[in-house]
Chains A and B, each alone.
Chain A
């Protein structure tokens, strides 16, 4: 056992990378749930985004094209959820579970020819002077663009929800869709946009795993990150910054346990592997004990009964 091999600076830098997929998926789902829709298909949309982004990158040679394709694929798959829940008025829980199962199967089919292929590397943002700073440099200024994009997305979501009229309307629809309808807001249209946004974010999160985090394609490689994103939204009490905190916690514990495994700590690997999921949920449960602020219309089916 050699704990001295663990470099704290590198640890924190890795943590941000490990947290990004779950962060992207969670912030998307947060917006969806704020609009009053519960989409349990995050895992399915993530893995679809993962293979779509991977395939597009391999075929085009450009990771940028891959990420755009991933967002598009996630949103496309969420269209299925839109049709089921917003038009056919199907149960959201069942539809979401179906979406996950469908996404897992679809991605396995799409990915058959890509197993073992290595994707082109995604470049890092290299800020000349800043990234050479000791400690701060590698932690804050030496990442790929998606890490910064994720943080920016959290900030943007927070600001939109809190300060803009669009955000207010979105929250209102999630709070009481009948009242919003009575005031003349297009409940279904607003929810569709939110679901598509959630799908795109989940797709980006998936592509981040297959293109940067792991870079390769294996079946079922999202390994439950989509479910963690769902839990994160609930335990973050639907607050964007708290979701960021939860994602970093998850990423942090993941990186630490990987390092501990590498250092040969005398804890069975299985326990270490389950620790990020366990610790994240325990901490967030404690954090969310203050008060539950779930959108009141969450998961309820809206029908404008005229």
Chain B
């Protein structure tokens, strides 16, 4: 571990109006798993893009194995033994696994040989994969395997992984870690980007923390608590959401044995879903993305209609009511996709506030819009949820993802719902803002509202929910009390490891 593989010295990259990286320096040792930590917008992505040759630094230098290293393009970086697994997979849906892998290689062997090598590598590292399957039909976990195998086939010296576990079940994460540990034992260095601190503590030897583009500290994750690391990332003491003891009221909303066909070819059918949520309760629903989350939200919000009696609100049938009529009754929803589903990208925040708020806030009466009241409502959301924007007349698209998320959630919370359904409420939101959103959900429940929180962030669900259920292929598990639930149990509720096996170390 004394040998340094890659050394970064004073890397700086500025974009118009923002310095993404400011004099960042650190070393990555041979056979070291190095974590790169930071909030959204801290400059992690820009930094790895410079290492991978996608972005050229304005100043500063890199030294790889003692020689200056300045990749002009990813091809050059790959030739020097740097491989990268992207956060958003850079795969081609219409092509098969082997073709996808061939595209990431400099001199791919003929298809048949390549397929054999893919099989060999995938077995060695416990990542089973059929080279001839079309990527479009693979699950998120399997797609990640494609990316990893694509990297491994080039015998990389440094493997960069950008948020690799966000799409995996806990069991899949454990298997991925086994693979990474095996790689490390073979002398491969890994640069691991994540904001999941417990994972970093379990896996990484060393961590560098970025804040606003600057290197603000290094630590050994094993000897540092997650809280300390989080505070280094944020720069201030972190407030954990307060969960006040609250009594559950009568049943607010219930679904019994509901089955809904998949709305599209790539959708998931809901199968025999039974769900009950009480007043004052937060029901957490976990599960790997694409297992029916969007469909469940549509059924609850009224985007997808069903027979009247299949969805009950305080015992009354509302299954046949459309979203506007449900809003009137107090059932509000904030879907996952911010641009285009939760908000209209090119409309201003005021207009977006009107779109969901008009019914309950009385913003449009007799068909005429009360712009003054609408603007005040938008302003109220912006202030209450610390949305960073110049004003209410800015387009939703112009906000960063995290800021828009705060607006979208705040808009629903402030409408005083009886039942609130949120999907991925803190997706892409930095730690401090995420804590604020969770606190808002807890406060809402404390006031007697029923909250259904669909999320892929298990820590979040454990933090706020009273009861926990998991979606797996459109089926909802029986809810269990969130208190004392172990990660293993959650993993099994989420459907286990989806056919993965542990690496043959």
Contacts and interface: CB of A to CB of B under 8 A. Distances in A.
Interface of A: 165, 168-169, 171-172, 175-176, 178-180, 182-185, 293, 295-296, 306
Contacts of A185: 103
A179 B74 contact: no
Interface stretch (B86-94, B228-236, B304-312): B86-94
11 contacts: A171-B92, A172-B95, A172-B99, A175-B93, A176-B90, A176-B91, A183-B74, A183-B103, A184-B75, A293-B94, A306-B55
B53 interface: yes
B64 interface: no
Contacts of B53: 184
A165 B99 CA distance: 9
A233 B67 CA distance: 51
Given A171-B94, A171-B95, A296-B93, A184 B102 contact: no
Nearest to B52: A182
Given A165-B108, A169-B103, A179 B95 contact: no
A185 B73 CA distance: 9
B92 A176 contact: yes
B95 A182 contact: no
Nearest to A168: B99
Contacts of B102: 165, 168
Range for the number of chain B residues in contact with chain A: 20 to 34
A182 B94 contact: no
Given A171-B94, A295-B94, 19 more contacts: A165-B102, A165-B108, A168-B99, A175-B94, A175-B95, A176-B93, A179-B89, A180-B92, A180-B103, A182-B54, A182-B74, A182-B86, A182-B90, A183-B74, A183-B90, A184-B73, A184-B75, A296-B93, A306-B55
Nearest to B106: A184
B164 interface: no
Contact of A175 (B73, B86, B92, B108): B92
Contacts of A169: 103
Contacts of B335: none
B104 interface: yes
B80 to A, nearest CB: 13
B251 to A, nearest CB: 45
Contacts of B92: 171-172, 175-176, 179-180
B91 A179 contact: yes
Contacts, number: 49
Interface string B22-64: 0000000000000000000000000000000111000000000
B55 A296 contact: no
Contacts of B104: 183
Main secondary structure of the interface of A (DSSP, over half): helix
Among A176, A184, A306, the one with the most B-chain Cβ atoms within 10 Å of its Cβ is A184
Nearest to B76: A184
B88 to A, nearest CB: 8
Contacts of B74: 182-184
Contacts of A306: 54-55
A73 B308 CA distance: 65
B264 to A, nearest CB: 14
B94 A296 contact: yes
A176 B92 CA distance: 6
B146 to A, nearest CB: 12
B285 to A, nearest CB: 31
A168 B94 CA distance: 11
Contacts of B78: 184
A168 B92 CA distance: 11
B90 A179 contact: yes
Contacts of B94: 171, 175, 293, 295-296
A118 to B, nearest CB: 49
Contacts of A182: 54, 74, 86, 90
A180 B104 CA distance: 9
A32 B102 CA distance: 22
Interface in B71-119: 73-75, 78, 86, 89-95, 99, 102-104, 108
B426 to A, nearest CB: 25
A12 B66 CA distance: 71
Contacts of B91: 176, 179
7 smallest CB-CB distances across A and B, nearest first, come from A179-B90, A184-B74, A184-B75, A175-B92, A182-B90, A184-B73, A176-B92
A293 B94 CA distance: 8
Contact of B103 (A172, A295, A296): A172
A172 B94 CA distance: 9
A226 to B, nearest CB: 27
Interface in B357-383: none
A124 B86 CA distance: 56
A248 B74 CA distance: 45
A284 to B, nearest CB: 20
Nearest to A304: B54
B54 A168 contact: no
Contacts of B86: 182
B75 to A, nearest CB: 4
A45 B92 CA distance: 31
Nearest to A163: B111
Interface string B304-338: 00000000000000000000000000000000000
Among B73, B90, B103, the one with the most A-chain Cβ atoms within 10 Å of its Cβ is B103
A179 B87 CA distance: 12
